[in-house]
Amino acid sequence: MKVTDHIQQAKETLVSFEILPPLKGKGIQSLYDHLDPLMEHKPSFINVTYHRSEHIFKKKADGSFEKVVVRKRPGTESICAAIMNKYNVDTVPHLICGGFGVNETEDALINLNYLGIDNVLVLRGDAAKNETTFEAEPGGHKYAIDLLKQVNNLNAGVYLEEDLKNTSKTRFCIGVAGYPEKHFEAPNMESDLRHLKAKVDAGADYIVTQMFFDNAKYFSFVKSCREIGIQVPIIPGLKPIYSKKQLTILPKTFHIDLPTPLSEAIAQCKTDADVERVGADWMYEQSKELKASGVPVLHYYTLGRPNLVADVVSRVF
Ligand code: FAD
């Protein structure tokens, strides 16, 4: 079922979770162990992230280095299918431009359609680890909106091979990313919002936000979106803090601010367990306020702490 159908049929705020594919070498059981405590809370859908391949330099026996391509977390499409099979829940695979040509993207979409997956979250992806700026693959997409248009085309039965006749149409519900604190490459919020509106005008059905720790930023973002005519659901993304290191890693990696009361409370914690408690209470308060404001879905980034997220969800719902 489509994410937008879940939202339309809901009488109150829904819950969804986001997970990463296991690291290569770990079996799928590690993923089920992660999901089990979360599934008790009856999420409407599970997002599975996509991780592009990276170039690494491997030292050879003679001391020289060899450039090799590795994908540390493969399997997004098949993990979605496995989760649907095991838990009978809808899934949302992430699809990215980075590292993909349009033919590979089309094949991935065809596979997802065969698997009965109704949703995709279309993203540009970040620059490869060895590049300073995002570079599209030769013939690949430069922005998320270009990937979105390819999904639209397939939804209309238009494949890359234009002479295909009587084609089957896919029916993907399309989500896109939004940034309450601005995407880090955008020169200003106005320009970022303009590009977000372009994605919605091109057919995005809903928006999921980057994580934020200050609800005022989400509310202000939603207000700005509505003012420029973005009408689709805007799903807030929440992530728990559970280690002191995140005080610097999260702003550096995701270009977001941590409110002073949160960062000071964490700085004063003596143990990891104390940090988890502060992080959980903060996420609980955020969730409670967002739910009271009538957000369509509370979307939780669960990486590393499924039990913490499950505990918070059981307090909120
Ligand atoms: P875009 O919408 O393409 O925007 C990228 C930048 O370009 C923005 O600054 C925008 O303002 C600007 N822009 C857009 N269109 C134009 C245009 N036509 N001309 C000029 N500028 C333009 N990454 C992964 O690799 N895998 C994942 O699974 C993943 N999941 C994510 C889930 C969520 C909810 C979020 C918020 C992010 C996720 N990311 C993921 C990270 C995401 O790929 C990066 O943030 C990336 O840098 C931007 O992706 P986007 O889809 O927002 O890009």
User: Is the pLDDT score of 163 beyond 80?
Assistant: yes
Question: In the structure, what pLDDT confidence band is assigned to residue 120 with cuts at 50, 70 and 90?
Answer: very high
pLDDT at 48 over 90: yes
Pocket test for ligand 1, best of 131, 143, 145 (most atoms within 8 A of CB): 143
- Burial environment of residue 151 by CB neighbours within 10 A (0 to 12, 13 to 18, 19 or more): buried
Ligand 1 is surrounded, with C-beta below 6 A, by 49-50, 94, 96, 123-126, 143-145, 177, 183, 185-186, 191-192, 195, 208, 210, 237
pLDDT at 111 over 90: yes
Residue-averaged pLDDT of the chain = 96
The enclosing domain of 104 has a CATH number of 3.20.20.220
Query: To test the ligand 1 pocket, which listed residue (120, 183, 199, 209) has its Cβ within 8 A of the most ligand atoms?
Result: 183
pTM of the shown model: 0.97
CA dist list (Å): 276 to 42, 129, 199, 248: 23, 30, 36, 16
Residue-range definition of the domain harbouring residue 298: 3-316
pLDDT computed for residue 129 by the predictor: 83
pLDDT for the residue 67: 83
Q: Average pLDDT in the 107-116 region?
A: 97
List, for residues 164-206, the tens digit of each pLDDT value.
999 999 999 999 999 999 999 999 999 999 999 999 999 999 9
Overall number of domains in the chain = 1
Split at pLDDT 50, 70, 90, the class of 293 is very high
- pLDDT class for 70, splitting at 50, 70, 90? confident
Question: How much is the pLDDT for 55?
Answer: 76
Instruction: Please name the residue whose Cα sits nearest to atom 47 of ligand 1.
Output: 126
pLDDT value of position 53: 82
Average pLDDT over residues 102-117: 97
Please report the pLDDT score of residue 57 as a whole number. Answer: 82
Phi, psi of 165 (to 5 degrees): -110, 155
Tens-digit pLDDT profile for residues 239-253 = 999 999 999 999 999
Q: How far apart are CA 140 and CA 147, in angstroms?
A: 9
Name which of 123, 128, 173 is nearest 146 in CA terms. 123
What's the gap in Å between 31 CA and the centre of ligand 1?
26
Confidence of residue 262 (pLDDT cuts 50, 70, 90): very high
Which tokens in the block code for residue 300? 């939780």
